Amino acid sequence: MSNQFSHVIFTWTTIQLSGIMLILPMIINFLTPTNAVEEWADVFLFVTAAIFIGTTYFNYVIEVEPREWTKTESQSAKSSLSTTTIHGTTICAEEGKKMGLDVLQLR
C-alpha cells in the first residue's frame, strides 16, 4: 500500500499507539471514578462500538494496490500497460486486442 514509505506509516502508527497507552489510564480513571461494575460495562460497550466502527470503516476504504503517490515514474508507466505471455511471447493489452484476444485473457 505504501511501498517505500512503509517505515514512515509504521512509525506514525507506533507513535499514535504509544500516545494512547499514555493517556488511557487517565481516561479510564475519569470514566470509572468509583470502579463500579456499571461504569466498566459502559467502558466496554464504548470500546466495542469504537472497534466495530473503526474496523468497518477501514474495511470499506482499504485498497491493496500501492497508492499513486508511492509510485515512481517507471512503476506508473509499467502499471498502465497490461501484459501477458502467450507461447513464450510477452504482449501488451493493445496488441492482444488487435489479435482478437479477450481482455480477461490478458490479465
pLDDT in tens, 6-57: 888 889 999 999 999 999 999 999 999 999 999 999 999 999 999 999 999 9
Same domain, 16 and 36: yes
Asked if 93 and 27 count as a contact pair (C-beta separation under 8 A), the reply is no
Asked if 84 and 102 count as a contact pair (C-beta separation under 8 A), the reply is no
pTM: 0.52
Same domain, 86 and 100: yes
Extract the C-alpha cell encoding 66: 500501492
What is the number of structural domains in the chain? Answer: 2
Instruction: Give Cα 10 distance to the centre of its chain.
Output: 12
Same domain, 78 and 62: no
Q: Write out pLDDT tens, residues 45-93.
A: 999 999 999 999 999 988 777 777 777 766 555 555 555 555 666 666 6
Residue 98: domain span: 73-106
Same domain, 66 and 95: no
Rounded Cα gap, residues 71 and 77, in angstroms: 10
Same domain, 54 and 12: yes
Same domain, 18 and 45: yes
Residue 2 pLDDT class (50, 70, 90 cuts): low
